[in-house]
Amino acid sequence: MRLLLVNAINHARPIETVYPSLGLGYLSASLKRHFPEIEIKIIDREVEQAIKSFMPDAVGVSSVSQNFGRAIEIGALCRKIGIPAFVGGVHITLLPESLPEEFVFGVYGEAEDTIVDVVRYLMTDPKLKTPTALNNIPGLVIHSEVRPKLTTLRPLIAKLDSIPFPDRALLDIPIEETTYLFTSRGCPYKCAFCASTRFWDKVRWFSPEYVVEEISRVVGIYKPRALSFYDDLFVANLPRLERIVQLICDKGIDKKVKFGFACRANLVNENLIRILKPLDISMICMGLESGSKNTLEYLKGESASPEQNMHAVELLTGAGINVQGTFIIGSPDETENEILQTLEFIKHSKLTNFEVYLLTPFPGTPVWDSAIKMGLVSNRMDWSRLEVDSRSDLETRVILSKIPKNRLSELLGLFAREKQRRRLKYLLRTGMHNPLLVLAKMRSFVFKSVAGWRRTTPAQARRDK
């Protein structure tokens, strides 16, 4: 059996190419444990060439919402060639009704076990002569007369430690610089815009021993300079965090790599800083979302306030940790004044770096429900209109804000200018002792300013430093 797994990404957008899909790496590892003889290839480009050279028996496609149109194109290509294609990942999970006919079926939710059942089925019926057998596999979205329907729900994997480490060898990544891994799945909070917390439902943890074994292997094999924990909320469980830090130090890994991760402002306190102290932290990323109390309440409920956010930034930066804040503007009832409060918050904060996004309605979230009520989205839409990049065309993308688009664009410009001002300040501060470095960085700064506002990912931010 040969299986081609494709991550449907947009190569024109640098952020999509920074990291390959560990999700597909997990699927590959799980399949190889059950079917050692299976041949798997993971790609994110040149699908037609890969099909011709690899000649897979089936193709599995992974897609986020904004790239679902690309996923459908890949499904159509497979159908034309006569290879069964199926789709999985966050979009089809949160909007199974959108299963297009280009895919024979979809896989919803966590899929390490489902993919094993799917491949077992494909091995016995490669031409899908009895597709009704798919009804017996839990975790699938299948076509039916009226609308796509779900087979029974597959329970979440009870013990995360039972999942094999992702198959990094198959992922085409420049790992020596930086890479990422997971120590948990899910988040205890329910922010209105967040698809992830709806996808994973509840939080589960890999054990500290599992986590540090994976870190140890990644560091030993690839020798990255930095590791990012891409957990939704790495610091949510303090006793476990303390044990992870202790094991990292016991193995001497704290001397070999820097660490980066996401944190929530309400969890930042002296105790957390004490626990994190032994680690060399390159950057902590916090979804601060807004400087306006009203907007924050809409986006995050009552578990956040601008004062708490400011306090968290001060505590972390006071401990010498770089902090990147992310913000969201354009909530349905947000006023221009409230957006300007966010700009003021940023100006008064000690944030090392920040990003501002326009609110995007991801399927499965309360924001998506609002967008449906406003008639802005549907189950069969142009998915590229859910583009997250704030520089994308405001005329085509879905916007919930009532502020005119040209004004929104001007407001985004104000944030862009503040970002450039900060970069320059940071550059001068960090380059004080090395004039040549400052000159080199100034050159790149001017180039970037002319080229326009550039999105900075945690990985890029680290590289820029």
Nearest distance in Å: CB 337, ligand B12? 27
Pick 240 or 264: Cβ nearer ligand SF4: 264
Q: Which of 187, 215, 265, 310 binds ligand SF4 (CB under 6 A)?
A: 187
User: By C-beta, is 28 or 196 nearer to ligand SF4?
Assistant: 196
Q: Name the percent of the chain in helix, strand, coil, to the closest 5.
A: 45, 15, 40
**Interface residues for ligand B12 in 369-408 (CB under 6 A)?**
388-389
Q: What is the rounded CA–CA span in Å between residue 439 and residue 447?
A: 12
By residue count, the chain amounts to: 465
Mention every residue, 6+ apart, whose C-beta is less than 8 A from residue 393.
none
- By CB under 6 A, tell whether 309 contacts ligand SF4: no
Q: Which does 264 bind (CB under 5 to 8 A by kind): ligand SF4, ligand B12, none?
A: ligand SF4
Residue 73, CA distances (Å) to 68, 80, 85, 105, 126 in order: 9, 11, 11, 15, 22
Q: How far is CA 21 from CA 46, 157, 173, 199, 414, in A?
A: 16, 20, 10, 16, 34
Beta bridge pairs of residue 326: 287, 355
Listed in order, strand segments (DSSP E) in 257-407 are 258-263, 281-289, 323-329, 353-358
CB 61 within 8 A of CB 92: no
**Which range in 81-89, 115-123, 186-194, 440-448 contacts ligand SF4 by CB under 6 A?**
186-194
Choosing from 189, 261, 357, 368, the residue that interacts with ligand SF4 (CB under 6 A) is 189
Judging by DSSP bridges, how do beta strands 140-142 and 149-150 pair with one another? antiparallel
Answer for which of 7, 178, 197, 360 binds ligand SF4 (CB under 6 A) is 197
Residue placing its CB nearer to ligand B12 in the complex, 62 or 331: 62
- Does 142 bind ligand B12 (CB under 6 A)? Our answer is no
Give residues with Cβ within 8 angstroms of 341, minimum separation 6.
290, 291, 292, 306
Site for ligand SF4 in 272-291 (CB under 6 A): 287
Q: Is residue 21 at the binding interface for ligand B12, with CB under 6 A as the rule?
A: yes
Which of 15, 4, 104 is closest to 61 using CA atoms?
Answer: 4
Instruction: Using the rule CB under 6 A, give the single segment among 47-55, 128-136, 189-197, 210-218 that binds ligand SF4.
Output: 189-197
d(CA 26, CA 38): 15
274 CB-near residues (< 8 Å, 6+ apart) = none
Considering the rule CB under 6 A, would residue 408 count as an interface residue with ligand SF4?
no
**Binder of ligand B12 out of 183, 363, 419, 427 (CB under 6 A):** 363
Binding residue for ligand B12, selected from 47, 58, 64, 71, defined by CB under 6 A: 64
> Which residue, 214 or 341, is less far from ligand B12 as judged by CB?
214
Residues 177-236 touching ligand B12, rule: CB under 6 A, are 182, 194-196, 199, 230, 232
Q: Which is nearer to ligand SF4, 264 or 462 (CB)?
A: 264
- DSSP state at residue 206: -
Regarding 9 and contact with ligand B12 (CB under 6 A), the answer is yes
Task: Determine, following the binding rule CB under 6 A, whether residue 196 of this chain makes contact with ligand SF4.
Answer: yes
Backbone angles phi, psi at 216, to 5 degrees: -60, -45
The helix/strand/coil state of 79 is helix
Q: Of 55-63, 73-81, 286-294, 431-439, which part binds ligand B12 (CB under 6 A)?
A: 55-63
**Interacting residue with ligand B12 among 19, 189, 259, 261 (CB under 6 A):** 19
Residues forming contacts to ligand SF4 in the complex (CB under 6 A) are 187, 189-191, 194, 196-197, 232-233, 264, 287
Which positions lie near ligand B12, rule CB under 6 A? 7, 9, 15-16, 18-24, 26-27, 60-62, 64-67, 86, 88-91, 94, 107, 110-112, 115, 182, 194-196, 199, 230, 232, 362-363, 388-389, 457
